[in-house]
Amino acid sequence: MLCGPRLSIPSSILLCVLSPALAHAPLHDWRFLVLQEYVVQRLDHQRLKDGFVVLRQLLQIDIDHFKSINDRFGHDIGDQVIRRVAQILREIGAATATAGRLGGEEFAVLMPGHGIAGAAVAAHRIRGQCAADTVPGLPDLRFTASIGLSEWVPGDTVDSLLKRADVALYAAKRGGRDRVAVAGPDMEPAMVG
């Protein structure tokens, strides 16, 4: 879901498209899943308040070896992979999550309070669906995704939540890619599942 009247939570702004012309764009168009860089900068000092934040878990998703997909198959095929990942996020995230494209081959998903275990299940479903998927017309082209997971804790800012998800994402990549990792408040990443 893109930003709309039902999302009045400060953290939901993180994954909204700011342009009024795009605010009600159909989610099936992957180009509208772009996170504006300045939104993160604007929210840098915004504190998330206990009892007000409904979207508590953050998944940061990176398509593994995306540059080599573009180099080998061309940007049109790379765009198809990005569209497919956006579709997977929409299918698995259901109506309760808020998804956005951070840029390039990175995406983020804010999830409601299902706890780390519930978010990890969703992350593994996303990861598994990416690994099982193909690009139409190219059945031999496979792609995987690495996912970092963080959970809101009292005192978090948007920046600290993103930072922990990023630390976890890079731990998943260092762990061999096609993995899910979580980073807690101590910033120590651990593989999940």
- The residues assigned a catalytic role are 105
Contact at 8 Å (CB) between 152 and 161? yes
DSSP state of 134: -
Indicate the residue type of 21. A
Cα angle at 132 between 74 and 193, to 5 degrees?
Answer: 120
* Beta-carbon count within 10 A of 152 CB: 22
How far apart are alpha carbons 35 and 150 in whole angstroms? 18
Beta bridge partners of 180: 147
Please enumerate in sequence order all residues whose Cβ is within 8 A of that of 157, keeping only pairs 6 or more positions apart, or say none.
Answer: 43, 44, 45, 46, 47, 48
Contact at 8 Å (CB) between 39 and 93? no
Which two three-digit tokens encode residue 26?
């159909």
How far apart are alpha carbons 182 and 150 in whole angstroms? 6
